Amino acid sequence: MSLFSFHKKNIKSQETLGEKFRKLRLGKNWTLEVAAEKTKIAAHYLQSLEKSRYDDIPGEVYITNFIKVYEQKLGVEPGKCLEQYRLERHIIELKKHHRFLPEIGQSSFWEKILKPKNIKLAAICAIILVVLSYIILNVYQTVTPPKLTIFYPASDLEVSDPVIKVTGQSEKEALVTINNQEILLTENGKFEETISLRIGLNLLVISAKKRHGWENKIERHILVNTQKPVVKY
């Protein structure tokens, strides 16, 4: 059985006011001419009502009055047809500004969207999107340089002792080096390494890198001055 199996379901379009009028008229075996005689409304106006061509009727007052008279003669509960007309009229006005809305009497937008083949296609696209997102996230996490923080020493530091401790923290899976010498990390990614410096200006390059990712570098300039300051009295 296929992973994506759907049962076809027929979705009925909602009956328009015009279709309702025509159905009721035919149920009484009335022609348009007979209906016009009983309602005292011209046959071509009744036809416009039945085809939802409201713009063919001169004015909103005429439309609402024609609907009230027609529903009364056809035996419809008063007010129901007028309520449906206002809803349809609202949709017509919306469609003038939004072309994707269906015409009155046509299959609705969602009927077309919710076809089994469209749902199946959407499901496949969603799965592909999830898989691609997972791959992209993993690639990003792999190549992104690890975080690197140096607690000590600060940059442009002057010291008198040529031996200092470099402390900091990175990600536990990162490879951390100081001047290309690998150092050990604790379980939470912290490190502490004793470094011997030479007299004068020293450059420390602390680097953190993942196996297949980019490198994160921080430099520290340390000046070692072993001469004690002369105090004059």
Is 127 a member of any domain? no
Buried b (16+ CB within 10 A) or exposed e, 178-194: beeeebebeeebebebe
Which amino acid appears at position 122 of this protein?
Answer: A
CATH number, domain containing residue 74: 1.10.260.40
Clarify whether residues 21 and 99 are in a common domain: yes
Clarify whether residues 92 and 168 are in a common domain: no
Last residue of a domain, one of 69, 104, 139: 104
Domain span at 82: 17-104
Clarify whether residues 96 and 26 are in a common domain: yes
List, in order, residues 6 or more apart from 203 with CB less than 8 Å away: 179, 219, 220, 221, 222
Give the pLDDT of the chain (233 residues) as one tens digit per residue.
444 444 444 444 578 898 999 999 999 999 999 999 999 999 999 999 999 888 899 888 999 999 999 999 999 888 889 888 888 888 877 777 665 555 554 555 556 666 777 788 888 888 999 888 888 877 776 678 889 999 999 888 999 999 999 999 999 888 999 999 999 999 899 999 999 999 999 999 999 998 777 889 999 999 999 886 544 54
Number of domains comprising the chain: 2
Is 29 a member of any domain? yes
**pTM for the predicted model, two decimal places:** 0.41
Torsion, Cα of 210, 211, 216, 221 (10° steps) = 110
Is 171 a member of any domain? yes
Q: What are the backbone dihedrals phi and psi of residue 193, each rounded to the nearest 5 degrees, phi first?
A: -135, 130
Q: Which residue has the tokens 């008279």?
A: 69
- Return d(Cα 84, Cα 88) in angstroms, integer: 6
Last residue of a domain, one of 41, 71, 104: 104
Answer for the pair 145, 208: CB distance below 8 angstroms, yes or no. yes
- The DSSP secondary structure of 124-169, one letter per residue, reads HHHHHHHHHHHHHHHHHHHHSPPPEEEEESPSSEEES-SEEEEEEE
Which amino acid appears at position 211 of this protein?
Answer: R
CATH number, domain containing residue 186: 2.60.40.10
- Return d(Cα 158, Cα 223) in angstroms, integer: 5
Q: What are the backbone dihedrals phi and psi of residue 108, each rounded to the nearest 5 degrees, phi first?
A: -70, 160
Is 23 a member of any domain? yes
